Amino acid sequence: MSNLATTISSKLANLSQLKQLHAHILQNSLHQQNYYVSLLITHCTRLNAPLSYARGIFESTRDPNAHVFACMLKYYSQLGAHSEVLCLYQNMQSCTVKADASVYTVLIKSSGYAGIVLHGHVLKLGHAQDRYVRNVIMDVYAKNIGSVELARKVFDEMTDRTVADWNSMISGYWKWGFEAEVCGLFDMMTERNVVTWTAMVSGYAKRKDLVSARRYFDAMPEKNVVSWNAMLSGYAQNGFAEEGLKLFYDMTNAGEVEPNETTWVIIVSLCSSRGDPNLADSLMKMLERKQIRLNCFLKTALIDMYGKCGSIETAKRMFEELGVYRNVVTWNAMISAYTRVGYLSAARELFDKMLKRDVVSWNSMIAGYAQNGQSAMAIDLFKEMIVTKEPKPDEVTMVSVISACGHLGALELGNWAVTFLTENRIKLSVSGYNSLIFMYSKCGSMKDAKRIFQEMNTRDVVSYNTLIAAFAAHGHGKEAIELMSKMRTEGIESNCVTYIGVLTACSHAGLLKEGWKVFESIENQAVDHYACMVDLLGRVGQLDEAKRLIDRMPMEPHGGVYGSLLNASRIHKSVELGELAANKLFELEPNNSGNYVLLSNIYASAGRWEDVDKIREAMRERGVQKTTAWSLVEYKGKMHKFIVGDRWHELSDDIYKLLAELKSKMRRLGYESDKSCVLKDVEEEEKEEMVGTHSEKLAICFALLVSEAGAAIRVVKNLRVCWDCHNAIKMISKLEGREIIVRDNNRFHCFIDGSCSCKDYW
């Protein structure tokens, strides 16, 4: 029976067949014999049998020996039930069963770093020379930074090292980034196996050194599927989709190793990063042709892929097909798919239905709100996350929240978020610090933005670009140019975004000579660089030169180029060029209401009211609606929103009373409302009423009412501030003795003592 059972067991492929063997053993009344109990538990481990089933087999023997205990310990260990391992070991000791070396191998593995305390125990019992025990002790030491030297000590004391010992030491050194030590050991090895070579490939891949990883991969005398997966994963995790897919085709063409489920998950992720629907469809056809079973992991990867390709219906169908087999990663993938295309209500519905959420679930939803212009919702959800206490926010969470605060211009909330990450000891990477620079600059606090930049130990191109963009928004042209020079001295190459930031800064500061110099230094000028240069020329009044530059462009101008020309025409009241630019924009951006409004402004300034009416009629015919202007002010952690003529706020009566008082004071100082921005041919008194209740004026009056005397006032507006409001705010800053910082959709205006940082040039 023993030989027969062994023969049958060697052919077991699934749980059903295991249960048939179990029934055969029961029929022959052999189920209490330790040999057969050990055999069944070993296959439970191999086939991932349910815990209740394996435990029932173990409990069927009345007098388990050391081997039965060892098999059950291995089952618990593979299951990750480390507490069960310890309980079973204590039970084994109470049964006075003498543990052999194999028991300590499992026990030390399951105990993690705590297993080190067993080192002395196995020494006393004489198991220290067992090669498996010795290897697992060294492995535990090697995986802990404070003990990696002890692992090397154990390794150096070995007189008969196996390849597994060398591999454990190499893996340990890789874990802590000790590349020199790894290479030293690798060169010393007289015998290497596929595990050794694969460890070198994955080690370099994790350090983002894919050139070295590929060199070791190509040098491998033999490769298994794990080796191929290590190199493919390296490409996938570092954003080299083309190289990864090419390597996969090499793998399939070689025909020596068949892809496994892990391979296919990696390949799907490579296709996901491309976001190419055609590539996604061809991959799906390949999976069908090869009859690959789509398990939960692979289907989850496919949901992510289709989500990134914008094929939401396909992603949704796969999500629903999984049914009860969906895990938290599957739900997260579907939430991300929805948020990526702006389906926030569908994403939130899924999020609310989740029985268990991890930090990725929260991050996906918070980032979804933040990236789709729902910054206030992102912050509200973050506050809800804090209340739940589990899971705890991480850096990814904080980057989304801090960025949301920046978009809102909510400095008070931003400082609260910074305090939270400090108190909770959330460490920030370069990306996290970049988000802080963005937040402070968007909230108008350049002092803090520069401070964060200076405090960074490591900076990347995004760090520089973020601060350069901040200088541009604040009109600090020379500082932006100087920062680009510093960037080069630190060995960081300028990219397309860098030049856009510096040229914009030159434009906002009126630095024509410097702007030309920067523009001409760009090797591969893009259309956006031309748009910036047209904007600079237009702002300084060189409209004809701006038009000539457009005519000389080696590529087709886009909306940004003509938008710059149209705005310059508005500033300098050039009707002819304004009409030319606007007509081009009506073709390129037929639904952009801002272009119609700018041309209307030009006509209104010239008193051409019939043309203003024609523009308004064209907007009606094309279904184009003017964007509603609004202004935000932060007070006690809440953003207060105002629109023109707004009387819904609870302090409206007080706001309008203060506004009337300020108008009276301003008139005594010679203020007259500038009604040129009114797009209707109406009575002068009505025009004055229209400009007099613009959203930024209401927002500033609210801030004056609720803030402390002398405190700076910060306002965020979604459109450009008009000439009348600009003049009025200058006077209010002088009358009230306040610094008033206004961020419109173009730049910052810092009003102090009757002057603006833009020098009336924007």
> In this structure, what token pair is assigned to residue 332?
């997260």
Average pLDDT over residues 51-76: 89
Select from 201, 229, 226, 196 the least CA-distant residue to 215: 201
**What is the predicted pLDDT for the residue at 113?**
59
Across the beta sheet with 713-717, what order do the strands follow?
638-643, 630-635, 713-717, 740-743, 748-752, 755-756
> Looking at the predicted structure, is the pLDDT value of residue 146 above 80?
no
Instruction: Indicate the pLDDT class of residue 684, thresholds 50, 70 and 90.
Output: very low
pLDDT in tens, 626-656: 889 999 999 998 999 999 988 989 999 999 9
pLDDT in tens, 230-271: 999 999 999 899 999 999 999 998 888 999 989 999 999 999
What Rg value do the Cα atoms of the chain yield, rounded?
A: 34
Full-model pTM: 0.79
Average pLDDT over residues 489-495: 93
Q: Taking a C-beta distance cutoff of 8 angstroms, is the pair 379, 401 a contact?
A: yes
> In this structure, what token pair is assigned to residue 41?
């538990």
Domain ranges of the chain: 364-458, 471-524, 526-627, 630-756
> In this structure, what token pair is assigned to residue 255?
């025909």
Q: How far apart are CA 635 and CA 627, in angstroms?
A: 25
> Looking at the predicted structure, is the pLDDT value of residue 144 above 80?
no
Instruction: Indicate the pLDDT class of residue 91, thresholds 50, 70 and 90.
Output: confident
Choices 1.25.40.10, 3.40.50.300, 3.40.190.10, 3.40.50.150: CATH for 526-627: 1.25.40.10
Instruction: Indicate the pLDDT class of residue 137, thresholds 50, 70 and 90.
Output: confident
Instruction: Indicate the pLDDT class of residue 176, thresholds 50, 70 and 90.
Output: confident
Angle separating helix axes 163-175 and 179-188, nearest 10 degrees: 170
Mean pLDDT, rounded, of the chain: 89
Q: How far apart are CA 266 and CA 505, in angstroms?
A: 43
Q: Which of 132-146, 322-336, 450-464 has the weakest average pLDDT?
A: 132-146
> Looking at the predicted structure, is the pLDDT value of residue 680 above 70?
no
pLDDT in tens, 574-584: 999 999 999 99
**What is the predicted pLDDT for the residue at 681?**
41
pLDDT in tens, 693-724: 899 999 999 999 999 999 999 999 999 998 88
Instruction: Indicate the pLDDT class of residue 8, thresholds 50, 70 and 90.
Output: low
Handedness of CA 245, 247, 248, 250 (dihedral sign): positive
**What is the predicted pLDDT for the residue at 581?**
96
**What is the predicted pLDDT for the residue at 5?**
57
Distances (CA, A) of 623 to 410, 590, 596, 719: 34, 10, 12, 20
Instruction: Indicate the pLDDT class of residue 686, thresholds 50, 70 and 90.
Output: very low
Name residue 230's amino acid. A
Q: How far apart are CA 225 and CA 214, in angstroms?
A: 15
**φ and ψ at residue 634, rounded to 5 degrees:** -90, 135
Report percent pLDDT > 70 for the chain. 93
Q: How far apart are CA 78 and CA 75, in angstroms?
A: 5
> Looking at the predicted structure, is the pLDDT value of residue 126 above 90?
no
> Looking at the predicted structure, is the pLDDT value of residue 203 above 90?
yes
> Looking at the predicted structure, is the pLDDT value of residue 624 above 70?
yes
> Looking at the predicted structure, is the pLDDT value of residue 522 above 80?
yes
Instruction: Indicate the pLDDT class of residue 120, thresholds 50, 70 and 90.
Output: low
> Looking at the predicted structure, is the pLDDT value of residue 106 above 90?
no
Handedness of CA 10, 13, 14, 20 (dihedral sign): negative
**What is the predicted pLDDT for the residue at 557?**
95
Q: How far apart are CA 368 and CA 127, in angstroms?
A: 55
> Looking at the predicted structure, is the pLDDT value of residue 520 above 90?
yes
**What is the predicted pLDDT for the residue at 216?**
97
**What is the predicted pLDDT for the residue at 341?**
93
Q: How far apart are CA 721 and CA 90, in angstroms?
A: 75
**Strand, helix or coil at 749?**
strand
**What is the predicted pLDDT for the residue at 274?**
85
Q: How far apart are CA 256 and CA 597, in angstroms?
A: 66
Select from 283, 280, 318 the least CA-distant residue to 299: 318
CB-based burial of residue 403 (10 Å sphere; 0-12 exposed, 13-18 middle, 19+ buried)? buried
> Looking at the predicted structure, is the pLDDT value of residue 586 above 90?
yes
Report percent pLDDT > 90 for the chain. 66
Other Cβ atoms closer than 10 A to 548: 11
**What is the predicted pLDDT for the residue at 143?**
72
**What is the predicted pLDDT for the residue at 480?**
97
Q: How far apart are CA 741 and CA 411, in angstroms?
A: 12
Helix (H) or strand (E) holding 677: none
Q: Taking a C-beta distance cutoff of 8 angstroms, is the pair 99, 92 a contact?
A: yes
Q: Which of 79-93, 363-377, 484-498, 715-729 has the weakest average pLDDT?
A: 79-93
pLDDT in tens, 205-236: 999 999 999 999 999 999 999 999 999 999 99
Average pLDDT over residues 272-287: 87
Helix (H) or strand (E) holding 305: helix 296-308
Q: Which of 99-103, 270-274, 296-300, 585-589 has the weakest average pLDDT?
A: 99-103
> In this structure, what token pair is assigned to residue 231?
């190199």
